[in-house]
Every structure is written in C-alpha cells, then in structure tokens.
C-alpha cells in the first residue's frame, strides 16, 4: 500500500503563511478546554468485550507536538490539539460534562434527587462508558430525564447506553425533545441514510489512518464513535417558542430554535445556575449550513435570529455558556461577546451571500468573492474548522434559488460522465489533458488539476496517470485545508483513488436499534423509497398490516409504481399479521415474508417484498460506476 506523499513547496508555503495571519500567541483556549477536569477514562478508551476499539485517542498521540507539520494547516492543527481534551469535567455546581468520548458532549445536571442527562452521544457503548466515568466520581443517583437538544444522531444514538426503553415505558424516566424531533430524525437520518453514510466517510475521515498525513480531527471533535446506535422516542415535546419546566427541582427555560443547525433544535437556560446550553448553534468554529455528508439546507437567517433572541432573553444572567460540542465560556461579559460574534458571523454570511445573489453572482462566484471582516476572521471560535465560508455561501444560494444558476446553458447539462467524455474530446484526448494537468500541478494549481482530472477520470477511468495525478492534487489540497471536513474529504479521496474502496462487510441499511425507535409510518416510508419502479411496473397490490404487539393497523397500497402508507384497515388483497420486530426485519431485508403470517393472497406479498432495492453503502463517488463506463 503506497504511503501518502510529501507536501509540495507550494503547500509548505501556503501553510507557513497561516502562521502570520492568525493570533497563535493566544493560548487561552488551552486552559479553558481543561478547566474543571476531573478524570479521564481509566483505560484511556472504550472497547467491546472482545477487545474491539469503540473509542481510542491513543492513535492521536502525534498531536502532542505544539508545532504543526507541513502536511497540516497550522490553524487546524491547533483545533485538533484542543479537541484532545477528554474525560469528566465539572462546569459549575451541579453541572458536569463528559467530553472527548465521541464527536459530541454528554451533559449532566444534578437535580434534587436524581440526574438529568442532556444528549447521549452516538452509540450505546460510549454513552455507557461516559455514565460509568461520571458515577466513578459522583454519587449514584437515578436518571430521571433525558433531553435531546436536537435531531442529529450524535446527540441521541447512545440513549440505550444511558436508559432503557422499559423504564421510559413505565414512566420512570421522561425523554424530552424539541417539536417535530422524530420527523427530523426520519427526514435527515433515515430516508437518505445510505447515501449520507457513504458521504460521511469523506466528511469525517473514519477510514483514514490517523496521523500528520491522514485524519487529525473532524472540527466538532475527533471523529464519530463506533458501536450500536439506538433511539427512544420522546415522551414530551417542547412545542411553544419558550417553555419553562421544573425537573427534579431544577428550573429549565426551553427556547425552540427550529431550522437552525438542525430542523428540530432547542436551547436550555438554567436560571438558578446561570448556565445557558446553546445546543449546537454556537460551538467554537464556523458551523455548516450544508454539511458535506448532505442534509436539509439550514437557514442562517433564522440561526442568527435565535442567537439574537437568546442574547436578549438570557444575557447578562447567563454567566456560563455550554454547548454540546467543545468547551464552555465563563463570565457573563465573555458569554455575551461570544454569542454576539457568533450571531454576527452567521448573519454576515447570510446577508452578504444574498446581496451577491441579487447582484447576479453564481454559486461559485459568490463563494470566491465573499470574505469575512477582520473583526470576525481573527477570532479562533469563528474559524471554519467544520463548515467553511465557501461552501456555506453556496448553501445560502441553494436554499433560496436551488441548484439552477439561472443560465439556460446550464439548465439541462449532460450527466458528469458524458460531459467528461466530450470535454476530453475537445482537449485532444486523455493523454493531452493529462500532459497539460501535469504542468499545472507543478505550478501548484491544485484546484484546477483536481477539477479537470476529476472529469478526465470519468471519461478514462483506467488511465493510471490521470488517477494518480488526481490523487496527488486532492492530497495537497487536503494538506492545506483549514476545515477538518475538507481535509478528510480530500485525503480520503486520495486514498480511494490509490487503493480502491474499502471492503466493508455487509450490514443492515439502518441500525436495527435505531429502527426500533422509529414510528411505524416512517418505517414504511423508508420501505417506499426502496421501491424499484421497473420491478413494480403494472403491479397493483393492497396490503393490510396488523401489528399484534402494538395494536396498530396500516395499509400499504401499490399503484402507478408508488407505495402509499395509510393508517387503519382498508380494502386489501392480502393481510399481514406480525409483531413490530418482524415488520422491522422485513423492512431491513433481514427476513422474508412468512406465508403463515399472511391471509388472502400470499403471493402478492412475496411479490411486493421482491420489488425493493437493497442499498450498497460503498457506491462509487469519485470514479464512474461500472454501468456508466465506456467500452
């Protein structure tokens, strides 16, 4: 396996220039990131009983070096070192956080008799380890409530490592979430989950080797934890813009902030403790309006609005600001200044992107033209470690105007592979394009080389020189990137180009424990998006479903190559009677319909379940899929 290559002179110069652009002498964040530290994990990581690493920071020991190597942007190196802070931290009286055991934080509030847990990390294994770390240093108390701040899986996926479904069903534990939480989970995580999972490999760099020439960070934290994801549906939704509830003697003011960093999100203020939890709307960097993994485009105008509302409502009473990533801000004056700068960051990008849109700029043009004022660009906690100014500006364009840039010449472009074939024909063929690109690479024009060699690979996927040059160019772009997600995407692309896609064992398209927490209509909607219209042509099937353990009745109707789901009994050609777990297995492709569970016409049910695609996680991203390759 060939090793990553050295940084070129152009990359070394670009990274060296960063040292003169930013205030590296300011080391206050390093003290704040470790303030209140109590203890780390006893064994330094989280492993399964058979020894498989779920979470391990040991491979990041190279980050102990203060000076960045030439293969890493010095600003990103600084953030990667800060994100090594790991363990149990006391924020203030009754408020604790476990940080650095996953991408996100787990926050604990000590009530009068029990605990309130805010967000539960990505997987059960790391969440269980986080709770064990807390209980190793604090008295054992029952968990009385779990609060999900928002609808991303690194904030709810480990819930069954913290509490059980049985305790929730028995009413012993409340699960509280923002309005439309479950709808957001399905829309962002479930229906496009296969594609999002593949793209996340590039965003987070989970298949890269950690090191100065590989993955160093993910911006929000080191990376996402491995293990088993789960979901327990909320028992209580916060529906009003502002709601106040007292949980185990702790007054909490909830502020809804929908369509910000997540479609369903909320802030929490604890007036008796002076603590404002801003969820993920003001973490220590520029966040994403549209992450590289894909998502519903976020609304930066409303993002700024809800930050302004939080400032107006909770400052100066907010003496400490915590978030569900990174480390806190202490001091009422600092909290206000921090939130005002975060507000200004998001509003500036929104307003200036829209200004340029109205001046006629296309997405790529406005991304090149927009620059932050020095007062914002010079603040460490506004730097683009996760989002980036360029792709956020393009996201604003997409939110308002969509994919079409208004030029009819781009209205019906050829697909990428056909475009590439014609482009190379105009350039005189693959060899001629390759020769020109080699000269541009030598001149340090890596963006252009990546762009044109990316096209060339689609037209000539077996051209070894093109593949190698594309890998070399994206690698240098990765070495220069300040954004952790851009770096990971570039370097993982180089790895796949050189060594091919990883052979990942087959797995269910969605984690079974996550699916178990979904409402049935969303589960059946997931089935509908797998319907292959070629297999369903001319078919008309109506299937009634009775779930024996939930007293639920559903009807699936197939017509015109569309699978519709409606509650209740309706006219049907067949009836399926089963448990909810059996339905989940059928929808995940882990089981086949059992004729013994079907009345009416069993053959129609068997035919229906044969019409669904099985998604392959490792689809082609950089090179053309085999079906589109030229002979």
Question: Any idea where the domains of the chain sit in the sequence?
Answer: 26-349, 350-403, 410-503, 518-609
Looking at residue 630, what is its pLDDT? 54
Q: Are 428 and 460 spatial neighbours (Cβ–Cβ below 8 Å)? A: no
Q: Are 598 and 592 spatial neighbours (Cβ–Cβ below 8 Å)? A: no
Looking at residue 494, what is its pLDDT? 97
- The dihedral over CA atoms of 626, 194, 225, 110, expressed in degrees to the nearest 10, equals 170
Pairing of strands 242-247, 236-238: unpaired
Looking at residue 627, what is its pLDDT? 65
Q: Does domain 26-349 have CATH number 3.60.15.30?
A: yes
Instruction: Provide CATH code, domain 350-403.
Output: 1.25.40.880
Annotate 503-548 with DSSP letters as a single string.
Answer: -PPP--SS-HHHHHTS-HHHHHHHHHTTB-HHHHTT--EEEEEEET
Q: Which residues contact 124 (CB under 8 A, 6 or more apart)?
A: 157, 158, 159, 160, 161, 227, 228, 229, 230, 513
Q: Does domain 518-609 have CATH number 3.40.1360.10?
A: no
Q: What is the mean pLDDT of each run of 10 residues along the chain (631 residues)?
A: 91 97 96 98 89 94 98 98 98 98 98 98 97 97 98 96 97 98 85 89 94 97 94 97 98 98 97 98 97 93 98 98 98 98 98 96 96 97 97 97 94 94 95 97 98 96 96 98 98 95 77 85 91 93 94 94 93 92 89 85 89 87 73 42
For residue 316, whether the previous peptide bond is cis, meaning omega lies within 30 degrees of 0, is: yes
Looking at residue 618, what is its pLDDT? 84
Quick check: do 350-403 and 410-503 share a fold? yes
Q: Which residues contact 11 (CB under 8 A, 6 or more apart)?
A: 70, 71, 444, 476, 479, 480
Q: Are 242 and 269 spatial neighbours (Cβ–Cβ below 8 Å)? A: no
pTM of the model: 0.94
Looking at residue 490, what is its pLDDT? 97
Which of 599, 548, 553 has its CA nearest to residue 574? 599
Three-point CA angle 471, 475, 478, nearest 5°: 145
Looking at residue 515, what is its pLDDT? 85
Looking at residue 410, what is its pLDDT? 94
CATH superfamily of 410-503: Alkyl sulfatase, dimerisation domain (1.25.40.880)
Looking at residue 631, what is its pLDDT? 42
Q: Which residues contact 166 (CB under 8 A, 6 or more apart)?
A: none
How buried is residue 21: exposed, middle or buried, by Cβ count under 10 Å (0-12/13-18/19+)? exposed
First vs last Cα of the chain: how many Å apart?
A: 29
Tokens 């990274």 sit at which residue?
15
């Amino acid at each position: 396996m060939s090793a990553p290559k050295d940084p070129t002179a152009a990359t070394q110069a670009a990274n060296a220039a960063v040292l003169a652009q930013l205030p590296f002498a300011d080391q206050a964040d390093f003290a704040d990131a470790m303030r209140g530290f109590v203890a780390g994990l006893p064994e330094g990581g989280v492993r399964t009983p058979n020894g498989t690493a779920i979470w391990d920071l040991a491979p990041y020991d190279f980050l102990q070096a203060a000076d960045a190597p030439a293969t890493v942007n010095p600003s990103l190196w600084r953030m990667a070192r800060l994100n090594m802070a790991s363990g149990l931290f006391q924020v203030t009286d009754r408020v604790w956080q476990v940080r650095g055991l996953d991408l996100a934080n787990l926050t604990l509030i000590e009530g009068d008799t029990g605990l309130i847990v805010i967000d539960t990390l990505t997987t059960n294994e790391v969440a269980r380890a986080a709770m064990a770390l807390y209980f190793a240093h604090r008295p054992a108390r029952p968990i009385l409530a779990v609060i999900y701040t928002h609808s991303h899986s690194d904030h709810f996926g480990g819930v069954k490592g913290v509490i059980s479904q049985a305790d929730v069903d028995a009413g012993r534990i409340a699960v509280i979430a923002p309005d439309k939480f479950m709808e957001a989970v399905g829309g962002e995580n479930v229906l496009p989950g296969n594609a999002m999972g593949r793209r996340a490999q590039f965003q987070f760099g989970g298949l890269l080797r950690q090191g100065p020439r590989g993955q160093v960070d993910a911006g929000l934290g080191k990376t996402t934890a491995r293990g088993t994801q789960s979901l327990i549906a909320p028992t209580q939704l916060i529906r009003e813009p502002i709601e106040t509830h007292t949980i185990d003697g702790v007054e909490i003011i909830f502020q809804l902030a929908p369509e910000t960093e997540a479609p369903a999100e909320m802030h929490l203020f604890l007036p008796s403790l002076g603590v404002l939890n801003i969820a993920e709307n003001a973490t220590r960097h520029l966040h994403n309006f549209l992450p590289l993994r894909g998502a519903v485009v976020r609304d930066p105008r409303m993002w700024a609005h809800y930050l302004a509302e939080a400032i107006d409502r909770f400052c100066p009473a907010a003496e400490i600001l915590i978030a569900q990533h990174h480390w806190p801000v202490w001091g009422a004056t600092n909290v206000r200044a921090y939130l005002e700068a975060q507000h200004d960051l998001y509003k500036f990008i929104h307003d200036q992107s829209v200004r340029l849109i109205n001046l006629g700029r296309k997405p790529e043009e406005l991304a090149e033209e927009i620059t932050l004022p020095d007062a914002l660009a010079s603040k460490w906690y506004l730097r683009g470690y996760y989002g980036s100014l360029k792709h956020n500006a393009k996201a604003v364009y997409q939110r308002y105007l969509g994919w079409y840039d208004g030029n009819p010449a781009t209205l019906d472009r050829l697909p990428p592979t056909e475009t590439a074939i014609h482009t190379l024909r105009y350039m005189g063929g693959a060899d001629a394009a390759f020769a020109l690109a080699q000269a541009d690479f030598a001149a340090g024009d890596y963006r252009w080389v990546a762009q044109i060699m990316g096209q060339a690979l689609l037209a000539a996927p077996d051209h070894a020189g093109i593949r190698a040059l594309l890998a070399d160019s994206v690698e240098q772009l990765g070495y220069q990137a300040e954004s952790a997600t851009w770096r990971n995407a570039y370097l993982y692309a180089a790895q796949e180009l050189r060594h091919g896609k990883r052979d990942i064992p087959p797995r269910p398209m969605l984690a079974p424990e996550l699916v178990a927490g979904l409402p049935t209509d969303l589960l059946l909607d997931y089935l509908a998006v797998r319907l292959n219209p070629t297999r369903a042509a001319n078919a008309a099937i109506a299937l009634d479903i009775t779930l024996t353990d939930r007293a639920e009745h559903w009807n699936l109707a197939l017509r015109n190559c569309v699978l519709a789901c409606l509650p209740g009994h309706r006219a049907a050609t067949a009836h399926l009677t089963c448990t909810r777990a059996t339905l989940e297995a059928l929808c995940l492709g882990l089981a086949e319909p059992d004729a013994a569970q079907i009345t009416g016409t069993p053959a129609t049910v068997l035919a229906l379940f044969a019409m669904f695609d099985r998604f392959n996680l490792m689809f082609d991203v950089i090179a053309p899929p085999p079906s589109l390759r030229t002979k």
